[in-house]
Structure 1
Amino acid sequence: MARRSALGRAAGAAALTAIAVAAVALAVLAIQHGRPPASAATARPVPTFEIESPSPTPTPTPTPSAPTADRFLSVGAAAAWRATSGACDGTSPVIEWSGDDGLTWTDVTPEGIGAVRSLTSFGGVNATAVVDAASACDTVALSSFTSGAYWQTYDNLFAAASYLTADPGQVVVAGDAIAAPCSTPRNLRVDGTIALLCEDVAYARSGTEWNQLATGVVALAVDPAGVVTAARTDACAGIELTRYDGQAGGTPACLTVADPAAPLAIDLDQGEVVAWSGDEVARLSR
């Protein structure tokens, strides 16, 4: 009987190890190729957490304490994630999670981070963020398999990540540093398509070249089919959204929001544009 119990414990440990390896592999695929299919949502590791956030407390949608240089929005199969970028020597970043399509958000900001450089939802309720540690501003990749309750660093994810760097005129895409089309790029988005903003000019990368798409852009989102830009124009009382397949722009659509001048981030979710404008989350089919 004792021998059978020992064998049972060994089999259980082997199964937990296999689950952990599978979950990390999912996260690497998310960093390299965007969101995986929703069927991957059940894979979770048994982690040794290195960075722990306070116990999440669901709250109504909050108002950021101050505008930040960038916003991140990533909508997954079973959850939505958003963040303000913050800065190590300035405003603290905030990472939030929503399981009800953006009606309420939970603050799941890991303790000890000073800035957010990228945020990617993957595998249902999981997410990966590239952040700067507040103490020395060292850049690392964190993943959470617990809806943001706990975060752990993963060196292999960082090696394959896409994010804005502290180096002027440079971004990292899938682990490789490449020159940006300007000295202060922002709003870098990678999901099969690579795009970013320089001031209010949107660029998409084709091969080794950056191609200008549009001016007057305040936010953008990508998927493997192309880029969607968001602009504020006289022709639209809200946010004007335009899809670019290659360099050709489609017919603009107008998304109504309470305050078109509010800070904005957008993402694409199965054919819909999801906009985080001020405190509001809105959708528009494209």
Structure 2
Amino acid sequence: MTPTPPAGSAAYDANRLAEALSALIDAGELAPGDRLPTTADLVATYGVNKNTASKAVAKLKAAGILAGTAGGRTWVRVRPQQVRRHNLRYHREKAEALRTEEERRQYGVAEADSGLAVRELHEDVYRYEIIDGPDDVRAILNVHGDARLLCRTYTRRHAAGAGASCSTSYLPHDLVRTNPDLLDASREPWPGGTMHQLSTVGVELDRIEDRIVADMPTQDEQQLLDIPAGVPLLRIRKVSFALTGEAVEVADIPLPADRSELIYTTTLERWQCQ
């Protein structure tokens, strides 16, 4: 049903129409996930022309109130889950790798970023593929010739209609194939995460580098992650190094800047007392 404008309302310009629609959303007449009336409906209901209706919708999309692609379905945006990514999570994950499976199932470092447990997620999808992989990733992992990579893609949504969070992990196939369980996506979510998985093939991590750049999302990323127009992505490339000094995992993690906080704490060695 198309919401009815206030009685006696004057002609709407794009700003006033955007304010009227926003007020309906604030009042709960249009709830998160509800489809917005079509442009034709807005024209008929509010007495505006098509261009005015389109401008009002575009304004609300840019403000993060509406979601959808141009020419397609538009809906009231589901509030995105805020992410706080702290580098101390790696210390916790390494400690968890030494615990029993029952203990490891009690805590997930990835879920700690959003404050949601896996069981609370609306969607949790894992895809495993054995591929050649991007040249830059192969170079970091020192993979050459016919050697291949295990590519793992993770896609999660905290609520129906919400934008996804996602990441892509690459591991040398020759390294992980000695444990067939590591090639089986049905075993996800793995208690203890990647550090425990690597421990099953004799790898202990020495350090992790987070390499961060910012740029604008692609059109596909903007739609999948539900990113308002003009909002950049923080692209984290996480590179994990074994005690031998070799890189054993590369993970690409795109984080929309409108919902992400990066926290890095550096523990410094104390000066010896003189």
* TM superposition score normalised by structure 2: 0.25
- TM-score normalised to the size of structure 1? 0.25
